[in-house]
Structure 1
Amino acid sequence: MDGSTIAISLKGITQPCQLFNSGAGQYHWFSTIPPERRGLHGEFDYYGLSKRVYRCLNTNVDVALGRLKVRQRGRVVVLSGQVGSPKLLNQVVELALSVEGVDEVETKGVSITETC
């Protein structure tokens, strides 16, 4: 990809900015996709981080996580729903943090439903 420089003027201030050619005659502002926007197959996906975390959880957790929702706010993963135990919640958080692009995991919306 070659970089082309253009001048951008905002509020009377002109700054040089670099655009990158994708090879198909299209230019983009970034030469790479940010980790929080990378999809399951490396493509741009606005919700890519939450999808990759969900796939990681489904692959590595032995119990069903059907009542757990995975969302994202930038590089923060937001979990909501129900899990079966505090131990399972800790495992889910550790796995989520292991996914590239995750900076933090919020669990405020998660309730624990232990069954006796």
Structure 2
Amino acid sequence: MGWLQRLFGFGKPADAQTNPAPTEDGIAPERVGLNGEYDQSGLAKRVALAFDEDPSLDDINNLWVAQTGGTVVLKGSVPSQDVLDKMVSIAGGISGATSVNTDEVKVG
């Protein structure tokens, strides 16, 4: 099961992008959805999409993605620090992400 399906209950929509251009003026970068529409959880969904696009992250089932404003919040557990570092790098590269909080992630 993919990240979008597990976390948000749906698969990848057609034309979904990790960094789409907003479809309307004035949408804050962290509120841009998968297709450029306004989405309250847009940043978290785009991070989940980016995780879906990396096959090496398919087996991570105990981690959740949320957002507080422009901060991506990761919660749960990962098997290694290398995996967490990769996820932080991916999440931090999504437009609208100002930081990545891993305070609630257990490694090992």
Measured against the shorter chain, the TM-score band is: 0.7 to 0.9
Between Structure 1 and Structure 2, the one with more strand by share is: 1
Q: Where do 5+ consecutive residues of structure 2 fail to align?
A: 1-23
The correspondence for 1:32, drawn from 12, 26, 29, is 26
Please give the alpha-carbon distance, in whole angstroms, between the structure 1 residues aligned to 2:35 and 2:97: 17
The percentage of aligned residue pairs carrying the same residue is: 37
Amino acid at match of 2:54: N
Q: Give me the whole-angstrom Cα distance separating, in 2, the residues matched to 1:44 and 1:65.
A: 28
Deviations 1:14-71 (A, max 9, x none): xxxxxxxxxxxxxxxx833111101111111000000001110121251322211000
- TM-score scaled by structure 2? 0.73
TM-score by length of 1: 0.68
Who is 1:72 aligned against? 67
Which consecutive unaligned segments of at least 5 residues does structure 1 have? Answer: 1-29
Over the residues paired in the alignment, what is the CA RMSD in angstroms?
A: 1.3
Structure having the higher Rg: 1
Structure 1 stretches of 4+ moved >2 Å: none
